[in-house]
Chain A
């Protein structure tokens, strides 16, 4: 009799998760459902498809989206080109695991503070604020996000693979292209997502670094809601969500521990 009672109690341990499940339902799931619902409502809460038309027919919105994707792609490419050698060189050094921390530490400082510091320097040396400074600021902000996963995957490569390639007669370039590069694809993929998604959805960085000249998707989401255009804003959020989900899907296919990488920042 007693044993059965115990077992019942043991099963009910899952009750501990109910408050959090309820909390998530309320403050994570329902808000997202509300965004979905708002996409189909007009200002007077009537069902409508006008929002879609408003969003996709407006050149301004499409230009902003295109600009964001452009800035996102350029930033991600630059981060990859600049960050890969760093991670690669560090992965060959015995003390690389400690030195890589130096590249990660700036991430601990709030991005707003770093952005304002960069802007102050641009102004002081007389660089004209615009697209160039925005991209610089983005690369500066998100480079550590690229270096960290790249370093994790590069330094976990079993060195005997590289030796095997060399023993089989591959020169250095071939070894790199045929062995090291394919083995670091998981790092490249999580690095790309960790840079691309925040870049296209940043709010405030682009405005600060271009004096309002460059307007990105995150800014226009915020602006739509501030102006009370919940319908169009919701559509923009949904577009953003699709980017997030697709990139996460890609990341998961390549790297099962993607979120662990992100967490290990701290």
Chain B
């Protein structure tokens, strides 16, 4: 009996915290069909909010912002993945002390507070007169995305059995060919997840973009556009459907990513059993 009561309270507690975490998300989704900003259904159930995504005066800015977000994320994460993957192979072959220094510097953008990273890049760009706009943003995004790629690839290299690479050399492959044909295929999954991580990080960024975009250029990513619009007059009905769509996309993406991961685990387990 005591155990049953305890178990009930435990589940109740878990549910309450979960409810608090999801309340804002769920309420926004529900009221995205009301086309109102004060959580009422005075206008009844309507899709007007969703239609407004395409034909309101904010639509153009929204689509601009979305394409900017995707373009910057794509360029930055591609560069980050390319540079980070090769860098990992290089770092792996560095001398111990140098390697430790490089790895520590690599950690820095991750542990550092975003605002400090943002202003330090801003001071750098201003001091060396980098042209305002996309160049600054892409460089800044590469700078905070690449460490994630390195952190994804490097552990995989460490796990790799060096004799595989040596076998390729013994069989007559040049070191370059062995790297391309043996090492890179082996680390490919980590390169892939590094790319996904870099892409998500870049898309999700607000602070570094906001501070480095330059006021005069008018470039906005999704987050800075939302900020510039909602900072002054609060959240207008326009944003409810947009947020709802973002919630659905994020939920789906997280689920898919985790399903893939679980599937991989199951496969790995099955393989282990067969052996």
- A interface, CB within 8 angstroms of B: 6, 9-11, 13-21, 23-24, 27-32, 34-35, 38, 82, 85-86, 89-90, 99, 101-103, 105-106, 108-114, 116-121, 123-124, 140, 143-144, 197-198, 201-204, 207-208, 218, 221-222, 225, 230, 233-234, 237, 240-241, 243-244, 248, 259, 262-263, 266
Q: A28-B109, A30-B124, A34-B123 are in contact. Are A23 and B146 (CB under 8 A)?
A: yes
Q: Which residues of chain A are within 8 angstroms of B235 by Cβ–Cβ distance?
A: 116-117, 119-120
Kindly provide the distance from the CB of A246 to the nearest chain B CB, expressed in whole angstroms.
Answer: 11
Contact A21 B230 (CB under 8 A): no
Other-chain residue from B175, B200, B207 in contact with A266 (beta carbon distance below 8 A): B200
How long is the Cα–Cα vector from A35 to B107 in the complex, in angstroms?
19
A-B contact count (CB 8 A): 231
Q: How large is the interface on B (under 10, 10 to 19, 20 to 34, 35 or more residues)?
A: 35 or more
Q: A27-B143, A198-B113 are in contact. Are A14 and B94 (CB under 8 A)?
A: yes
- The residue on A at minimum CB distance from B150 is A20
Other-chain residue from B93, B118, B200, B223 in contact with A11 (beta carbon distance below 8 A): B93
Q: Which residues of chain B are within 8 angstroms of A109 by Cβ–Cβ distance?
A: 25, 246-247, 250
Q: A105-B254, A112-B226 are in contact. Are A86 and B14 (CB under 8 A)?
A: yes
Contact A124 B38 (CB under 8 A): yes
Q: Among B111, B142, B176, B246, which residue has the most Cβ atoms of chain A within 10 A?
A: B111
- The residue on A at minimum CB distance from B18 is A102
How long is the Cα–Cα vector from A222 to B120 in the complex, in angstroms?
11
Q: Which residues of chain B are within 8 angstroms of A112 by Cβ–Cβ distance?
A: 206, 223, 226-227
Contact B111 A34 (CB under 8 A): no
Contact B176 A221 (CB under 8 A): no
How long is the Cα–Cα vector from A11 to B95 in the complex, in angstroms?
10
Q: Which residues of chain B are within 8 angstroms of A114 by Cβ–Cβ distance?
A: 24-25
How long is the Cα–Cα vector from A15 to B230 in the complex, in angstroms?
47
How long is the Cα–Cα vector from A144 to B37 in the complex, in angstroms?
28
Contact with A along B214-240 (1 / 0, CB 8 A): 000000001100110011001100010
Judge whether B114 is part of the interface by a CB distance below 8 angstroms: yes
Contact A103 B17 (CB under 8 A): yes
How long is the Cα–Cα vector from A14 to B98 in the complex, in angstroms?
11
Contact A225 B122 (CB under 8 A): yes
Contact B196 A120 (CB under 8 A): no
Contact A121 B23 (CB under 8 A): yes
How long is the Cα–Cα vector from A144 to B17 in the complex, in angstroms?
11
